[in-house]
Structure formats: C-alpha cells, structure tokens
Amino acid sequence: MLPHKIGTKITDPKAMYAYDAYTIPANLAGICAGVVPVGRIKGIPVGLQVMAPAFSEELMMQVMASVEKQSL
C-alpha cells in the first residue's frame, strides 16, 4: 500500500491498520529489523524491510548494505 497524500484524513480503521501491519512483527518477536530503499513506484520511494535473528544486527546491516548497493 502506498502512503496517502499529505493532508488526507484516513477514517477507515482497516486502512490505518494496514499501514502498520508489517512494521510490528519484529518488535513482537524481539528480533532486529531495518528498512533499505530499493526504488520508486509512481515516483514514491519504496523500501525493503530486512529482519534478522535477535542480536544479529551486524548480519542485518551487511544484508542491507548489499541490497542498497544493488539498487543504486
């Protein structure tokens, strides 16, 4: 789902939940996660969420750096 336009009010609770649905699993599982830019859709920046096992931040950052280099 692409982000809504600035100033647009979202009144549908399901639509509001959809924005957060993919951001909370890492927090609930206690694992590390980050987002790296991978391109654009209709001019809007798009990111790839990378997750790794708990305390594997170095591995996660290596993967994110590799993905970022490939998308340049």
The domain spans of the chain are 13-71
Q: How big is the CA angle at 54 (ends 53 and 57), to the nearest 5 degrees?
A: 85
* Whether the Cβ atoms of residue 67 and residue 36 lie closer than 8 Å to each other: yes
Q: What is the pLDDT along the chain (72 residues), one digit of tens a residue?
A: 667 778 888 778 887 787 778 788 899 999 999 999 999 888 888 899 999 999 999 999 999 999 999 876
Q: Which of 59, 41, 54 is nearest to 3 (CA)?
A: 41
3-state SS class at 36: strand
